[in-house]
Amino acid sequence: MVLKKQTVWLLSMLTIMVVLSAYYLAQGPVEQVPVASEVTEDEAKTKAEAEVDSKQVMEQPEQVDGNVEVVSEKNADYFAEVKMNREAWNSQTLEKYMDVWANSDASAEAIAEAKQSYDVLLGKQDAELNVENLIKALGYEEAVIVTNEDRVSVVVQADKLERKQAVEIVSLINKHLEVPSKNIVVSFKP
């Protein structure tokens, strides 16, 4: 019996989903407490706004212009899980582009578009990894970046995240990924 690549990939992803579901059922929910702090006017003007990702929190704290919200979220496997999910999504997308190349019925325009999208995604992956390493060089044990269209979410492993540190991370991402500061979300996990 010969299995196609797509079938093997699909079975692998289903297996990963089942394992992660069992893990979440065994671990149960984790309560998270939001903590907000203000950014000085000078920092806000020079480094733009920075906000902290509070998507993992059941109730999102109110966003106030000019503030950096710092949300602590505890989960030992968070970084590995996010990187694994990001890699799975990227692999799936790259495979989709390669399928277009391999399709003999695809138009030359579709193939060229798939190749361009493939190259853009590979470039984005490299840039994310480089910025993650730059953030780690700032003294964080772990960092993960997830991009979604024009928004970037960054999570660093730290016991706390000061305003100045968040602004420094936003500045790094703004410089290397060329994303506007208002579209960058920074958070931390102990």
Instruction: State residue 28's pLDDT score.
Output: 59
Instruction: For 109-122, write each residue's pLDDT tens digit.
Output: 888 898 999 898 89
**67-101 pLDDT, tens per residue?**
344 444 445 578 888 889 999 998 999 899 888 88
Instruction: Give yes or no for residue 39 having a pLDDT over 80.
Output: no
One-letter amino acid for residue 21 of the chain:
S
CA-to-CA distance for 88 and 80, rounded, in angstroms? 12
Q: Domains in the chain and their CATH numbers? A: 32-189 (1.10.287.4300)
186 — pLDDT class (breaks 50, 70, 90): very high
Q: What is the mean pLDDT of residues 124-150?
A: 90
Would strands 184-189 and 143-148 be described as parallel, antiparallel, or unpaired? unpaired
Bigger pLDDT: 151 vs 61: 151
Work out the end-to-end distance of the chain between its first and last CA atoms, rounded to an integer number of angstroms. 48
| Residue 15, pLDDT score | 84
> In sequence order, which residues have a C-beta less than 8 Å from that of residue 141 and are 6 or more positions away?
157, 158
Q: Which two tokens stand for residue 127?
A: 């840039």
Q: What is the pTM of this model?
A: 0.57
User: So what's the pLDDT on residue 132?
Assistant: 92
Given a cut of 60, is residue 40 above it in pLDDT? no
Cα distance between residue 34 and residue 119, in whole Å = 39
